[in-house]
Structure 1
Amino acid sequence: MSAATIRLVNSAGEAMENMVVYLQPKHLDGSHSALAEEGVDNLALPLEVHQKNKQFTPYITVVQKGYELQFVNDDDITHHIYSAAGPKRFSFKLRKDNATKTMVFDRVGHVSMGCNVHDWMSGHLLIVDTPYFGLTDEKGWVSFDSAPDADYSLVIWHPQLSSQDNSLSQEVTLPLPQALTITVSALMRDIPSQKSLDDFEFLDGY
């Protein structure tokens, strides 16, 4: 494993998948800032959040402050996307068959999303002020190969994490002497069901 690799497990030692982990640099100088900007070049911009099978896909999306996010409706029905809470408020309709809406998020924070047409749909955006972020894989691993040697606040986040601001943090210094395993003792709430309770559908002319 890379010296900048981290694994998350719960209190039972089980891998925690799809958890947001990001490194917030504690001290930035000019050279470090330049490196941070270079770190974004390997991202496919704009990032995309899809509405597919009446669900947000992915359920959690992380985007760096100031970059574009595109909403894409893959369904053959209209969705009416809105922000339920967070640093950016929005409400817009996406007509069927690959309609898109592009937005720039210029403030950090958590944006909770829903759909006015399909009230079971829920999704989450996390806007961060660092290029060093990722989501853990099915074995709980996430790597930060491009992060330069420095002191960081390592932040763990998930909308269902039962802690203040749905996050936990600790200080780390890169390079790590070895891969780091972190035990997350906070409880995780269940992810809400992303399925309709019935087959009722709004008319296409909504």
Structure 2
Amino acid sequence: MKKGGKYFMFAGFIVLLSCELVAQPISKRYIDSLLRIAAKPKRDSNSVSAYDQLHRYFFDRGLYDSTRKYTIQALQLAKMIGNEKNLARMHYRLGMTYTNLNNYDSANYYLNEALRSARTLGDTALEVNCYNAFAYVHNYQSDYSASIDYLLKAVQIIDLSRSTQLKNMLPQTYSSIAYNFLGEKQYAKAIDYGKKGLFIKG
């Protein structure tokens, strides 16, 4: 029985190792293909999108220095070709990256740039995302009151919107407000907003 158990564990290890070895060249090919698109001679919005995909790839893996590198390149390219919508998004992504790097001054700078652009472009989804991002920045610094203020601004926009995408953000926004009230030890309000979030989820 013990031999069988050891064999099973060893076989499982081999499977995991082989999966990892297969995943590595696939990841490298994926990254290389994006870099080729990003660096093509005639650079355009597709190049920005390639850098954005690189941002997502490294961000999802918690590799924020690489995330910052490619997001800055995307931002510079979006600015160069005059793509205001992508420029606003890259400001937002860079703000989130700096938040995860615990560089809150830079995070606030880029999020403010994104928010200003979102208002100019009338991009309410980005505006709500910016308020949520500001809430994270302040929550990470234990400034729960400021975090709640930003989340309530997000709620106001969501309430006035007919967008299903925005409406779907409401339960999580209420949950975030509840979490911040817990941080302030305002338990009654935390429970109230927690219930609001659960009620919407059904």
Structure with the larger helix share? 2
TM-score w.r.t. structure 1 length?
A: 0.23
Larger radius of gyration: 2
Higher relative contact order at CA 8 Å, sep ≥6: structure 1 or structure 2? 1
